[in-house]
């Protein structure tokens, strides 16, 4: 049986090819709205960024989405992406600590 092909995408910040599931997708829909797509299924033009703070910061600092989406992206969108990413990381770390049994002990 042939092995299943793993989809690869390029990070717009570090320009490395990585597995699609290990990247964050930023999508611009038909109405021109830009958002983070955590499930990877949203309709629209997508750009991928590594799931680490350095690539997110580089994306925001150099305004890489302007080039990728061929339009001017407002500064508020970049701030939203940073905030959303930080919130997603916080939730993910809470979930991992709960799975590892590191949750708050009873009585606190």
- 37-58 pLDDT, tens digit per residue, is 888 889 999 999 988 889 989 9
Residue 51: which domain range? Answer: 8-99
Q: How many domains does the chain have?
A: 1
Q: Is the pLDDT of residue 108 over 50?
A: no
* CATH number of residue 79's parent domain: 3.30.1230.10
Give domain status of residue 87, yes or no.
yes
Phi first, then psi, for residue 35 (nearest 5°) are: -155, 165
Which pTM does this prediction carry? 0.76
pLDDT at 107 over 60: no
Q: Check residue 7 and give its pLDDT.
A: 93
């Amino acid at each position: 049986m042939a092995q299943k092909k793993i989809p690869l995408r390029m990070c717009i910040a570090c320009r490395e090819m990585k597995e699609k599931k290990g990247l964050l997708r930023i999508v611009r829909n038909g109405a021109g709205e830009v958002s983070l797509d955590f499930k990877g299924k949203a309709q629209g033009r997508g750009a991928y960024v590594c799931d680490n703070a350095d690539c997110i910061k580089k994306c925001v600092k150099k305004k890489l989405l302007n080039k990728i989406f061929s339009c001017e992206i407002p500064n508020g969108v970049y701030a939203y992406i940073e905030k959303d990413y930080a919130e997603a990381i916080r939730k993910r770390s809470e979930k991992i600590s709960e799975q590892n049994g590191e949750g708050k002990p009873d009585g606190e």
